[in-house]
Amino acid sequence: MGYRPFAAAGLWDAGAPRRCGSGWVQIGAREVRPKSPELLTAVEAIAAIEGGELSCEALIGACFDRIEAREADIRAWVVHDRSRALKAARERDAGAIRLPLMGIPLAMKDIIDTADYPTSYGSAIYAAHRPRVNASCVSILESQGAIVAGKTVSTEFAYFSPGPTANPRNRLHTPGGSSSGSAAAVADYMVPIGFGSQTAGSLIRPAAYCGVIGFKPSYGRIALTGVKAFAPSLDTLGWMARDFDDVELVRASLLGKGFRKLAAVDGRIRVGFCPTPEWEMASAETQVALCRAADMLKRHAEVAETGLSDAGLAQVQKTIMAFEAARALWHEYHHHKELLSRPLCDLIEAGLTTSYEDYLAAHRRARLASAEVEQLFSDCDVLMAPSAPGEAPVGLHNTGDPIFSRAWTLLGLPCITFPLPRDKRKMPIGIQLIGALDGDRKLLEVAKSVAKWIET
């Protein structure tokens, strides 16, 4: 199929385009270049495919061209397979049924089981591991037409020890973790959607560092079957994208809902500016950027400072995470300890020395905080907080601090990060919005409007 202007995807102004030299297209008096397929959002690509203006094969081919051009520098992937993905794309093109995620390429974090690719969980222990079946999320998405392009780099068992991935915005900086490869792949236009997970800050932080949208749904609503457990009371599957509607497209697909584009927010929303007890750990640039965003929002929304009374929720999250990780990784620790990093061993050993009584007390404290935050949402539509302490740190030896995500992960609340407007010569800084439990779509709609408001 030829590559034609994407009228169905809404990428052209009104007017009949005609081809000019060197691939340019003339619309009225203007000449513009059509978007190359790898630059499309998932929603745009689906519209173009449904309109007969793009094939699944062309989309996959363009994404793999980008991967092959950039992977030596970014190192986002553990494994990818162009021939397998193209074969799947041709099958989609030849099929009589038009599927909701027709031909959309996905990156899967390497803690998510895939029958067609190895899954190593970021550890040498599982270097040759090949799951027999897909994780439930993979099966659901592929049944709706998506194509897994490959597996992206994860830190060791989704904890802190980094892989080789560099930040596409500046390769001297970390992409964050633990969903390092997925964040980098989406930021570098290798795929429109990348999957990750969050137990502390493993989605929000890398998305913020790489300047993309990162979404952690309400806890327990997306199936984790086939995703390597770390701390089951906290583990949450999530994903990254470059467009808010793409985030909702994936959410609807995983929940068996029909996709509807996100609506504009009606009326004046209520934003609770929640700097959190860790505010002093944010860089001066982050503090200034968040306060400026809050001031800009006041033209469109009611903004008031708020917060939780318990200043120790980050430590509560650490206690629960350590206790559960020590049990979830019991086999690896007791049979392959020599292949585990020292930081992970330290966490497991802290968990093994945590009493069951202290673990239960941490859960009781979390329940009290959940009741308090539920009351906050009677006065606020969303909460606003930093996504990370600052820009992505220089160096690939660490993945940054998840401090600004620990409490929200503990409470199971849906969270989204997206980049604040900045000079493109600088590294991204993210803003995090937190929604009420099960208020995921409302959170996405508010976030899409907020992103527009703070750009103007």
Could you give the residue numbers annotated as active site?
109, 178, 202
Contact 440, 238 (CB under 8 A): no
Question: How many helices (H) and strands (E) are present in the chain, helices listed first?
Answer: 14, 14
> Collapsing DSSP states into helix, strand and coil, what is residue 246?
helix
Place of tokens 């745009």: 44
Asked whether 336 and 371 are in contact (CB, 8 A), the reply is: no
Nearest CA among 311, 291, 341 for reference residue 406 = 311
3-class DSSP state for residue 342? helix
Q: Is 424 helix (H, G, I), strand (E, B) or coil?
A: coil
User: Would you say the C-alpha torsion 262, 268, 270, 274 has a positive or negative sign?
Assistant: positive
Q: Which of 216, 205, 217 is nearest to 286 (CA)?
A: 205
Q: Running DSSP on this structure, what letter comes out for residue 218?
A: S
DSSP symbols for 34-73: PPPGGGS-HHHHHHHHHTTSS-HHHHHHHHHHHHHHHHHH
Q: Is the dihedral of CA 186, 190, 191, 194 positive or negative?
A: negative
Could you tell me which residues come within 8 angstroms of residue 97 by beta carbon, excluding any fewer than 6 positions away?
Answer: none
DSSP three-state, residue 70: helix
* Side-by-side strand order, sheet with 147-152: 77-80, 147-152, 105-109, 193-198, 236-241, 213-216, 415-419, 430-434, 382-386, 270-273, 302-305
From its phi and psi, is residue 340 left (phi > 0), alpha (psi between -120 and 50) or beta?
beta
Q: Measure CA 166 to chain center.
A: 16
